[in-house]
Amino acid sequence: MHKQIAILSLADDLHALVIRKALEDRYDVTCSVIETERICGSSGLNWSNVDSVPTALQTMTGDCLDVRTLDLVWWRRVSTPQLVPSDITDPAQMDFITNDCREAVLGLFLNEFCGTWISDPQATRLAGNKLVQLRAAQRAGFRTPQTLISQNPQQIRQFCAALDNRVVVKAVKGTMKAPTLTAMVNEAMLQHEASLRLCPAIYQEFIAGTRHVRANCFGDAIYAALIESEDLDWRQNLNVPVSPYDLPEKVKVRLRKVLRHLGLKMGIVDLKLDERGEAVWLEVNPQGQFLFIEGLCGLKLIDAFSDFLYSEANSRHRA
């Protein structure tokens, strides 16, 4: 049976374009990409509670898509600010346009789409909160680093001292406008009281070791890669050994529990193997990047993910 799939993401997003091609090459599928930062100026969004008015959203190719016909939506990248005309420079106007475009798209889909979400927008938003996902990992049985989220200098110093300052600091959310890497806490940082008070940050027990695991969870299927890096944050240098890695079944069971608890259909999870080889939870990105892992170690993630989407699109008809 012919399937209709939509991917909501940014213009020129490699993941969206590659998976769209894989789906249309491998299956009887029409896959539309909606460029979520280009709603502004497109004249393509239309919704009404009057039945005679058509419901539509413009796709990458300029076609008008009726979201009621879709079997599956991959809710990939939807929070980026809108690309506004160059003559609009007032920050308030730009924020107004972004907020209204984002809310209109979300409301249209929540009202009219009856298929399968990858993943549900509300669950995706909630699961992106590192405090929420950390608790979910604990409940699933993972060892989690001792963690403090604080902007209280006294509490931060006490927490770090209890761990002999072997503590990493990272952003609670961060910003898309600049990279925010994980770093080790140092004495100068702890003495800079004004910086500590600016906003809450994550202070977390340092897990020793050089073996990092990237677990790509597509439904119940899990495809893991081992990244061997001396760096605290391996993302800054990928010129390191990367290989497929067979996670123990008990770890896979825990990963599935976390995703179910968070209401996610997929998730890209970062773990670290401690000196005894135990998988320690770090975080989950509900819509994380995975294509680079296929390029680095040959894991067939494009095929796996397109198979997963097609199977989930079929679930609408099975239901």
Cα 111 from Cα 108, distance rounded (Å)? 5
The domain boundary, picked from 205, 220, 245, lies at 205
Mean pLDDT for the stretch of residues 286-298: 96
286 and 192 in a single domain? The answer is no
Q: What confidence score (pLDDT) does residue 319 get? A: 47
51 and 89 in a single domain? The answer is yes
- Please report whether residue 283 resides in a domain: yes
Q: What confidence score (pLDDT) does residue 181 get? A: 78
CB atoms within 10 A of CB 319: 7
Question: Backbone phi, then psi, for 139, in 5-degree steps?
Answer: -65, -30
Give the CATH number of the domain where residue 292 resides.
3.30.470.20
103 and 184 in a single domain? The answer is no
Range in 14-28, 141-155, 178-192 with the lowest mean pLDDT = 178-192
81 and 57 in a single domain? The answer is yes
Contact predicate 41/85, CB 8 Å: yes
H/E element holding 184?
strand 183-184
- Please report whether residue 197 resides in a domain: yes
Does residue 30 surpass a pLDDT of 90?
yes
- 3-class SS at 61? coil
- R_g of the chain, CA atoms, integer Å: 21
Does residue 312 surpass a pLDDT of 90?
yes
- Please report whether residue 265 resides in a domain: yes
- 3-class SS at 147? strand
Helices (H) and strands (E) in the chain, counts: 10, 15
16 and 107 in a single domain? The answer is yes
Number of domains in the chain: 3
CB atoms within 10 A of CB 208: 9
- Please report whether residue 141 resides in a domain: no
Task: Provide the residue range defining the domain that includes 215.
Answer: 209-298
Cα 50 from Cα 127, distance rounded (Å)? 35
193 and 227 in a single domain? The answer is no
Does residue 317 surpass a pLDDT of 70?
no
Q: What is the DSSP string of 191-246?
A: H-HHHHHHS-EEEEE----SEEEEEEEETTEEEEEEEE-SSSSGGG---S-EEEE-
Degrees, nearest 5: CA angle 129-135-140: 125
249 and 282 in a single domain? The answer is yes
11 and 101 in a single domain? The answer is yes
- Please report whether residue 292 resides in a domain: yes
| Alpha helical stretches, state H, 49-149 | 91-112, 121-127, 130-139
288 and 215 in a single domain? The answer is yes
In the block, tokens 């989220």 appear at: 149
Instruction: Kindly report the average pLDDT of the chain as a whole number.
Output: 94
Mean pLDDT for the stretch of residues 231-242: 92
- Please report whether residue 132 resides in a domain: no
pTM over 0.85: yes
> Which residues, 6+ apart, have CB-to-CB distance to 84 below 8 Å?
40, 41, 93, 94, 97
Cα 266 from Cα 269, distance rounded (Å)? 10
| Tens digits of residue pLDDT in 112-134 | 999 999 999 999 999 999 999 99
- 3-class SS at 277? coil
| Tens digits of residue pLDDT in 263-276 | 999 999 999 999 99
- Please report whether residue 75 resides in a domain: yes
9 and 87 in a single domain? The answer is yes
93 and 13 in a single domain? The answer is yes
Contact predicate 147/283, CB 8 Å: no
Tokens of 250: 């008990």
Q: What confidence score (pLDDT) does residue 55 get? A: 87
Does residue 93 surpass a pLDDT of 60?
yes
Q: At 33, is the pLDDT very low, low, confident or very high (cuts 50, 70, 90)? A: very high
Give the CATH number of the domain where residue 172 resides.
3.30.1490.20
159 and 216 in a single domain? The answer is no
- Please report whether residue 291 resides in a domain: yes
Cα 55 from Cα 49, distance rounded (Å)? 9
